[in-house]
Amino acid sequence: MVATPTPPEVALLPNGSPRRYVYVQTFGCQMNVNDTDRIFQVLEPFNYRPTDDPAQASLILLNTCSVRDKAEQKMLSQLGRLAPLKDYNDDLILGVAGCVAQQEGERLLKKVPHLDLVFGPDHIADLPGLVERARAKERVSETRFTKRKEFAFIEAAPREETRISEFVTIMKGCDKVCSFCIVPFTRGREVSKPADAVVREVERLVAAGAREVTLLGQNVNSYGKDLQGDRIPTFAQLLREVDAVAGLERLRFTTSHPMDCIDELVGCFGELRTLCEFFHLPVQSGNDRILREMRRFYTAAEYREKVAALRRQSPQIALSTDIIVGYPGETDAEFEDTLTLLADVRYDSIFAFKYSPRPGTRAAELPDSVPEAVKRERLARVLALQDAVTRTRMEAYVGQTVEVLVEGPSRMASKGQTTRWQLMGRTRTNVIVNFPVPLGEFWSDRWIGSLATVNVEQAKSNSLYGTLA
Ligand code: SAH
Ligand code: F3S
């Protein structure tokens, strides 16, 4: 919600330039969350400070997601809600970043008259200049893809408050051809960040206080395939290099395409000290015909074999996946194969989506033939099945002793407020654990980033409760 606007504070800094505030609302995946950090980073030298009050901002950006239609609609209605702020604040620039910006470009400027600026993910580094053009009353749209060879990553600078758990982008784009997916259109071709830069970034974050790092990419397993020169590590080799960074406690990555999940990568689990026992391996469907139509290039049996290999290597490994229900032409029987796969694999958690046709994708040329009501029913059945599996998986933790990386004070579930007597952190398998601070103590900063050994006493649907061992 947007509160009654108040005029923004425009204080002059010693160098004579105004201090301004930027408000960014982030939609969608971790990639966007990470891009938002880069947006703050490139604007900082131009005296923009982040704010969480849109009424205070002289630059408002929506960092958007277009992977499903719903995400796009949410962004459009938010733009409508923000529009009145422009009546109160002549200084205000309103912009759209991210995947919808890349996909729509100029069209978005035409559709939304109060919009000043549209720019794609490849243009974050250009943002200060784009904003200046918008301040000079130009309506700016910048969505050209940077050529693969010319693309330069913005190396993350640690923020004032480095989080215990940080993300490091190791590549952008996706060279896969999944028929339903808009990502290759909005994020372009794969470009890998040079390994030295990745390691440097991790070292810097760890020096600034991070204990856990998640390497990010649309398909991290194909890391390095585009790199040139004499030092081109595979993804598994990159994991080894990052694992060797002193002071790092935990290493994660996301996301992987099952086809590229090979023995070399499987072999890293249980072998690399920091590599956590957690793997997000999107399957999408349990039916071979649908998988072929989706152009995923594996069968359900091949996928199951990958899962078996991971579990042989690392028996405690927690698995999660993505599921799409109601792909064009998916029959009841084909859908049942997805349920069977879920029941057999017994994931720790899943993300499930109703198929949503995306403009320009191959699947969008097919009629969106599964009725909405059927999609809804299939989604409900997937979630009900998974709820039961997740519950038994969570209950299996009760009585176990787990290592918890403490992130901070617990949030009280209902109110979103933090407590002073209860800590929260995660297991290596990525489950949230809450436990009380020892008697007579309150929460303090010193807990953050420590590894606690916790006896699990109770399991709820999304988190565990226990006491310090
Ligand atoms: N490799 C990427 C996938 C991005 S999209 C990653 O980093 O996760 C994330 C998930 O959204 C996909 O795995 C898929 O399950 C879902 N998805 C993508 N396109 C979709 C569409 N058109 N309709 C419904 N779900 C979709
Ligand atoms: Fe999308 Fe498939 Fe790439 S789901 S991001 S095209 S691996």
CA-to-CA distance for 141 and 132, rounded, in angstroms? Answer: 13
Ligand 2: distance of its center to the CA of 175 in Å? 8
Q: Which ligand is nearest to the CA of 257?
A: 2
Nearest CA to ligand 1 atom 2: 218
Beta bridge partners of 418: 411
Query: Of 42, 230, 67, which Cα lies nearest the Cα of 152?
Result: 42
Cα 246 versus chain centre, distance = 25
List the strands of the sheet with 20-26, edge to edge.
48-50, 20-26, 59-64, 93-97, 117-119, 140-142
The pLDDT value recorded for residue 7 is: 44
H or E stretch at 86: helix 85-88
Domains of the chain: 11-144 (3.40.50.2300), 147-276 (3.30.750.210), 401-468 (2.40.50)
Atom of ligand 2 nearest to the CA of 322: 4
291 lines ligand 2 (CB under 6 A): no
Ligand 2: distance of its center to the CA of 181 in Å? 6
The pLDDT value recorded for residue 240 is: 98
The pLDDT value recorded for residue 13 is: 58
Nearest CA to ligand 2 atom 1: 181
Q: Which ligand is nearest to the CA of 284?
A: 1
Long-range contacts of 34-41 (CB under 8 A, 24+ apart): 34/156, 34/167, 34/169, 34/216, 35/63, 35/97, 35/98, 35/121, 35/124, 36/63, 37/156, 37/159, 38/124, 38/154, 38/156, 39/63, 39/97, 39/124, 39/127, 40/159, 41/154, 41/156, 41/157
> Residue length, the chain?
469
Q: Mean pLDDT for the chain? A: 92
218 lines ligand 2 (CB under 6 A): yes
User: 454 near 466, Cβ under 8 Å?
Assistant: yes
Is residue 135 classed as helix, strand or coil in its secondary structure? helix
- Token pair listed for 455: 């006896």
The pLDDT value recorded for residue 12 is: 57
Q: What is the phi-psi region of residue 442: left when phi exceeds 0, alpha when psi lies from -120 to 50, beta otherwise?
A: beta
CA-to-CA distance for 349 and 371, rounded, in angstroms? Answer: 26
The pLDDT value recorded for residue 444 is: 74
Ligand 1: distance of its center to the CA of 411 in Å? 29
> In testing the pocket of ligand 1, which one of 27, 67, 338 has its CB within 8 Å of the most ligand atoms?
67
The pLDDT value recorded for residue 2 is: 44
Ligand 2: distance of its center to the CA of 285 in Å? 14
Ligand 1 binding pocket, CB closer than 6 Å: 67-68, 180-181, 183, 218-219, 255, 282, 284, 322, 324, 353, 355-356, 358
Cα 400 versus chain centre, distance = 30
The tens digit of pLDDT for each residue in 197-208 reads: 999 999 999 999
- Token pair listed for 469: 């061992």
Query: Of 277, 254, 245, which Cα lies nearest the Cα of 403?
Result: 277
User: 289 near 300, Cβ under 8 Å?
Assistant: no
Ligand 1: distance of its center to the CA of 182 in Å? 8
The tens digit of pLDDT for each residue in 418-456 reads: 667 889 999 999 999 999 987 777 777 788 899 999 999
Count the alpha carbons within 13 Å of 332 in the hemisphere toward its beta carbon. 2
Peptide bond into 274 cis (omega under 30): no
SS3 content of the chain, % helix, strand, coil (to 5): 35, 25, 40
In the chain, which residues have pLDDT < 50? 1-7
Ligand 1: distance of its center to the CA of 299 in Å? 18
Q: Which ligand is nearest to the CA of 351?
A: 1
What DSSP string runs through 147-188? PGGG----PPPPPSS--SEEEEE-EE------TT--HHHHH-
The tens digit of pLDDT for each residue in 38-63 reads: 999 999 999 999 999 999 999 999 99
Is residue 254 classed as helix, strand or coil in its secondary structure? strand
CA angle 454, 457, 459 (to 5 degrees): 110
> In testing the pocket of ligand 2, which one of 99, 103, 177, 183 has its CB within 8 Å of the most ligand atoms?
183
257 lines ligand 2 (CB under 6 A): yes
Atom of ligand 2 nearest to the CA of 175: 3
Give Cα separations from 93 to 132, 138, 306, 416, 468 (angstroms). Answer: 10, 11, 49, 31, 50
The pLDDT value recorded for residue 77 is: 92
CA-to-CA distance for 213 and 120, rounded, in angstroms? Answer: 26
Q: Which ligand is nearest to the CA of 295?
A: 2
User: 94 near 118, Cβ under 8 Å?
Assistant: no
Query: Of 390, 381, 389, 458, which Cα lies nearest the Cα of 430?
Result: 390
- Looking up tokens 């290596």 gives 428
Ligand 2: distance of its center to the CA of 42 in Å? 28
Nearest CA to ligand 1 atom 13: 322
CA-to-CA distance for 78 and 273, rounded, in angstroms? Answer: 44
CA-to-CA distance for 404 and 251, rounded, in angstroms? Answer: 14
What DSSP string runs through 281-340? ---B-S-HHHHHHTT----HHHHHHHHHHHHHH-TT-EEEEEEEE--TT--HHHHHHHHH
285 lines ligand 2 (CB under 6 A): no
> In testing the pocket of ligand 2, which one of 178, 182, 296, 298 has its CB within 8 Å of the most ligand atoms?
178
Ligand 2: distance of its center to the CA of 170 in Å? 16
Ligand 1: distance of its center to the CA of 217 in Å? 13
The pLDDT value recorded for residue 426 is: 97
CA-to-CA distance for 178 and 331, rounded, in angstroms? Answer: 20
User: 20 near 51, Cβ under 8 Å?
Assistant: no
The pLDDT value recorded for residue 1 is: 41
